[in-house]
């Protein structure tokens, strides 16, 4: 008759084999990590810059990846947050069935709420500032949390971007004082100040407050376009010249993004951030980013934008909430410094959360895309450091790192088990 420990080991090994087979099949079929279909609800508050992301197009993009997304929005053109708050019945785009923010936020359960910043004035002529943005975002969160289930939602600053016709990087890089009277602007430092203030107001929600960083992705695209790396149109009307000299070439005027390439970029950043997944390879949904003008998002452009988006939003994960698989210390890179946090996350989740409060370990550690951080991720994690990691179709022999981490985890778990037993058995002696 099989003993209980033997039976437990048999069940554990069987489950582990299933996880490894399932995870391997999933990664082979969906290389971007789209292994678990999700159903999310998103509400967007802002003006035409939020509308440039095409919220219904984001839902269609999610559908292309096998997900489901319910979308609501409150769009008031040319308006900052303090104006939207003081004139809640005024909109320039007819809302979905969820309605305007005053009823939509407390009357529904949301997974993500985005709040767009923008310079301007409220209905009384008061300017939009760090203080007013901080106050209104806090008020919007409080309104949403009147529905208890929205206490688990994530709330995002939608950055917007600098206007103009030249000098994008200088505008995004500008130094901004962290003063109450600092007026709203499209710059990285302004967003950083605002995010820090909002997290300071709600310290227990710090891991639910992030940024949809369209401005930073456009910054990266500007660098690539200036360097001549952005793909050319197909067919190319003028092969002797570069079609994209700066990111302003994907604007349709001094502030709005172009109907196709620009808006597709904003939608991609929104999708990748809200679903916290790599957008690379997701098809462009038909009927949302391919209308109005004779401008074409080629496959090369689409993949380039998707790759830049993923690289950018995972480079600063504690800002965006999007963690590359394996980045357990949240520094935007996957390297040997993530080994100790990985072990800690597996063996002592509470200590890990205390040490890395802004890292979402269920995302950073779920390397096999099983939906959880567990021992099934150990081989995938250690394989990231092997020279032959690219040969995913073969089943490699256990690496030194894999065996080392497994030994450490075994010792930690064994020691914890023995410390917590009322009577030390023979297994815990010696």
Rounded to an integer, the average pLDDT of 373-379 is: 73
**Do residues 65 and 282 make contact, with C-beta atoms less than 8 angstroms apart?**
yes
Structure tokens at 222: 């500007």
Query: What's the rounded Cα separation, in Å, for the pair 364 and 372?
Result: 10
What is the predicted pLDDT for the residue at 31?
Answer: 45
What is the predicted pLDDT for the residue at 365?
Answer: 72
In which order are the strands placed within the sheet that holds 154-158? 68-75, 39-46, 112-116, 154-158, 209-212
Domains of the chain with bracketed CATH: 39-320 (3.40.50.1110), 325-428 (no CATH)
What is the predicted pLDDT for the residue at 41?
Answer: 98
**Do residues 117 and 162 make contact, with C-beta atoms less than 8 angstroms apart?**
no
The two beta strands, 154-158 and 68-75, are unpaired
- Whether 192 has a pLDDT exceeding 50, the answer reads yes
pLDDT band at 233 (very low <50, low <70, confident <90, very high): confident
* Nearest C-alpha neighbor of 193 from the set 117, 253, 142: 117
What is the predicted pLDDT for the residue at 112?
Answer: 98
Going 387 to 304 to 322 to 56, the CA torsion angle's sign is: negative
Q: Radius of gyration (Cα) for the chain, nearest Å?
A: 24
Query: What's the rounded Cα separation, in Å, for the pair 325 and 333?
Result: 10
* Nearest C-alpha neighbor of 137 from the set 195, 66, 203: 195
Mean of the per-residue pLDDT values of the chain: 83
Condensed to tens digits (0 to 9), the pLDDT of residues 33-67 reads 445 678 999 999 999 999 999 999 999 999 999 99
Query: What's the rounded Cα separation, in Å, for the pair 324 and 367?
Result: 9
List all residues 6 or more positions away from 202 whose beta carbon is below 8 Å from its beta carbon: 138, 141, 209
């Amino acid at each position: 008759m099989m003993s209980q420990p033997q039976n437990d080991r048999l069940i554990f090994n069987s489950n582990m084999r299933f996880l490894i087979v399932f995870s391997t099949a999933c990664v082979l079929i969906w290389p971007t990590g789209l292994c678990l279909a999700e159903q999310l609800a998103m509400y967007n508050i802002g003006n035409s810059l939020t509308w440039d992301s095409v919220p219904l197009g984001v839902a269609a993009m999610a559908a292309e990846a096998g997900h489901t997304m319910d979308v609501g929005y409150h769009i008031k053109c040319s308006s900052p947050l303090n104006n939207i708050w003081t004139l809640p019945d005024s909109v320039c785009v007819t809302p979905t069935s969820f309605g305007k923010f005053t009823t939509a936020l407390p009357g529904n359960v949301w997974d993500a709420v985005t709040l767009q910043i923008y310079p301007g004035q409220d209905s009384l002529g008061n300017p939009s500032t760090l203080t007013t943005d901080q106050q209104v975002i806090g008020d919007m969160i409080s309104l949403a949390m009147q529905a208890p289930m929205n206490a688990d939602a994530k709330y995002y600053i939608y950055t917007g971007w600098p206007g103009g016709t030249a000098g994008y990087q200088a505008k995004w890089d500008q130094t901004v004082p962290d003063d109450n009277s600092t007026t709203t602007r499209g710059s990285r430092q302004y967003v950083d100040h605002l995010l820090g203030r909002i997290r300071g107001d709600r310290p227990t929600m710090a891991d639910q407050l992030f940024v949809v960083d369209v401005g930073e992705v456009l910054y990266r695209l500007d660098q690539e376009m200036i360097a001549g790396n952005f793909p050319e149109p197909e067919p190319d009307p003028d092969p002797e010249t570069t079609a994209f000299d700066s990111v302003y070439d994907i604007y349709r005027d001094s502030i709005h993004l172009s109907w196709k390439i620009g808006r597709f970029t904003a939608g991609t950043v929104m999708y990748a951030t809200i679903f916290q997944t790599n957008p690379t390879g997701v098809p462009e949904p038909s009927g949302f980013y391919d209308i109005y003008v004779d401008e074409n998002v080629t496959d090369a452009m689409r993949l380039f934008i998707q790759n830049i988006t993923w690289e950018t939003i995972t480079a600063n994960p504690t800002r965006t909430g999007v963690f590359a698989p394996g980045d357990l210390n949240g520094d935007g890179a996957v390297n040997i410094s993530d080994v100790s946090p990985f072990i800690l996350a597996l063996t002592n989740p509470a200590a890990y959360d205390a040490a890395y409060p802004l890292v979402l370990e269920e995302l950073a550690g779920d390397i096999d895309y099983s939906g959880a951080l567990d021992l099934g991720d150990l081989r995938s994690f250690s394989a990231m450091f092997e020279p032959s990691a690219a040969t995913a179709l073969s089943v490699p022999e256990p690496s030194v790192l894999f065996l080392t981490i497994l030994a450490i985890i075994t010792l930690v778990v064994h020691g914890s088990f023995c410390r917590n037993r009322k009577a030390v058995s023979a297994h815990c002696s010696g």
